[in-house]
Copies of this chain bind each other. A is one copy, B any other.
């Protein structure tokens, strides 16, 4: 049975992992007769956002604890992730590029990536472990993997930032998958495009199907 590690950054699009993309990725993996384990860094949220108003809340929440909501309790610290035990890593998306996993949302092109995230991505590249990324989360990979090829849909500002970083971006529409054959990176735009929840399911299904095909080759 193929094993996926899903790396989360909380629970909610505006300050953590996008919930629909995460749940529909879990479903796609389970429907492909593969298994998954959820991981998240055991750190404080960069900030907490009221999802009704969009305003910042004066609260502190823990990324691992909040990620456990989507995982029904079964979430592990990212520091426990042994990449060699998995066939693939998956990063669901989050508003403005993986708050909690990187600083892109706050610092733009000069952003930094969480060191635990950088470590597992580098191990995945070394081990030829597949890496999947939905929505804006390919931006994280752009900082770590030189000249990576990926999609973030067709957002001009993000594309411009990525091109300046030497990334080959490919414009895509709903449900399309871009594969970087050299680095084994699979990406799909999901909510980087104005989407229905069915289109998010299509993106997640197509991503996992393509990764499973390549794993079974």
Q: How far is the CB of A87 from chain B (nearest CB, A)?
A: 19
Known: A13-B69, A73-B14. A197 touches B23 (CB 8 A): yes
Residues of B with C-beta under 8 A to A165: none
Q: By the criterion CB–CB under 8 Å, are B198 and A19 in contact?
A: no
A180→B9 CA distance, assembly (Å): 42
Residues of B with C-beta under 8 A to A201: 27, 31
A196→B28 CA distance, assembly (Å): 12
Residues of B with C-beta under 8 A to A12: 11, 69
Cross-interface CB contact of A65 among B19, B24, B50, B71, cutoff 8 Å: B50
- A5 contacts partner chain B, Cβ-Cβ < 8 Å: no
Q: How far is the CB of A6 from chain B (nearest CB, A)?
A: 12
- A20 contacts partner chain B, Cβ-Cβ < 8 Å: yes
**Complex interface residues of chain A between 63 and 105 (CB less than 8 A to chain B):** 64-66, 68-73, 75
Q: A19-B23, A52-B65 are known contacts; what are 14 more A-B pairs with Cβ within 8 Å?
A: A13-B73, A19-B19, A19-B69, A19-B70, A19-B72, A20-B26, A23-B23, A27-B198, A51-B66, A51-B68, A51-B72, A51-B73, A52-B64, A52-B73
